[in-house]
Amino acid sequence: MTLPLSYSRFGITLRPERALPLPRYPGSMFRGAFGWALQRVVCVTRTHDCPPCLLKDRCVFPYVFETPPPPDTRIMRKYTAAPHPFVLEPPFPGEVLVEPGRPLGLGLTVIGKAQQYLPYLVFAFEHLGRTGLGRGRVRCALEKVEATLDGSTYVVYGQEDRSLRATEPFTDRIALALGSPDQAAEPNEPQQVTLEFQTPARIVYEERLSHTIEFHVLIRSLLRRIGHLSYFHCGGDPSTVAFREWIELAGSVRKVSDTLRWYDWERYSARQGTSMRLGGLLGSVTYEGGVAPFLPLLRAGEALHVGKGASFGLGRYRIEE
């Protein structure tokens, strides 16, 4: 049995009119501004208050940004929100100031059914730019949107004509074979893999944030996240996934080295009215053993991230085979 996934990856280029200070982890700033702008451009009642709205079940904003599980869901019944169908990839942590007129790049991955709403998402970034980013409300021009596929980029939206081209050809469609795993890896397939975590990874194991990333802990988190994304946004059925067998197989893969370090940062939650500390792991980790059967899952995680806070860019990693 296979688990279907579909997603499109885009690069968004903004140009600030004035110097734009970035917080220590800019993903929180972009996520907050993006959500605020999306709600403003799609709300037809102009109340910007979703819970009592009669249109909330058919509105773009709640689906994309709040993602409540549908009433007939078979999983996550006790949760108020399912995984969101997008991933923002902000500039890497550490850059503190973007000079006026310098291009500022931001990645956006749109998952499953949310791809039909791409025009709304692009318009939200235009509105975000006109309104301004950061405490100083620095206005930014949306210069272009590029689709990414197989390592190449294609402009699908630009300032010249402000017309969004068809993006269907740039959709990645995969079917993950996650039935009973084949434990016999081909002799020529890689038996060692290194992952470089480029944004803080917040992976929960046994109800606690993990301060190390054993392979089986990583696989548990990936199976959970990708299974839920497939179910809620791509029409998949996670009950076909042999979770126990995959996790058991992952237990035979050893962590042989790592340079992981804890990275602390804070974000302010306007909804909760408080600052939140959201640290995570950065650095590289190398695994050895029967890693070959897991490579398709690991490659999907490259695009979709892993762990908590993935929608605003946490848990981003790169595979070094």
Helix (H, G, I), strand (E, B) or coil at 277: strand
Among 13, 80, 9, 11, smallest CA distance to 304 is for 9
Whether 97 and 228 map to the same domain: the answer is no
Helix (H, G, I), strand (E, B) or coil at 103: coil
Residues 159 and 157: their CA atoms lie apart, in Å, by 7
Whether 36 and 145 map to the same domain: the answer is yes
pLDDT number for residue 250: 96
Whether 125 and 246 map to the same domain: the answer is no
Whether 138 and 283 map to the same domain: the answer is no
Whether 75 and 163 map to the same domain: the answer is yes
Q: For residue range 101-146, what is the model confidence (pLDDT) as tens digits?
A: 999 999 999 999 999 999 999 999 999 999 999 889 999 999 999 9
If 0-12 CB within 10 Å is exposed, 13-18 middle and 19+ buried, where does residue 89 land? Answer: buried
- Residue where one domain finishes, among candidates 143, 172, 201: 172
Dihedral angle at the C-alpha atoms of 18, 264, 302, 66, nearest 10 degrees? -70
CATH no. for residue 43? 3.30.70.1890
Q: For residue range 253-275, what is the model confidence (pLDDT) as tens digits?
A: 999 999 999 998 776 555 555 66
Q: Can you give the residue range of the structural domain that contains 192?
A: 181-320
Number of domains in the chain: 2
Spatial contact of 313 and 88, defined as CB atoms under 8 Å apart? yes
Whether 208 and 139 map to the same domain: the answer is no
- Residue where one domain finishes, among candidates 153, 172, 191: 172
Whole-prediction pTM value? 0.92
Show the CA angle centred on residue 50, arms to residues 49 and 51, nearest 5°: 110
CATH no. for residue 271? 3.30.70.1900
- Residue where one domain finishes, among candidates 146, 172, 198: 172
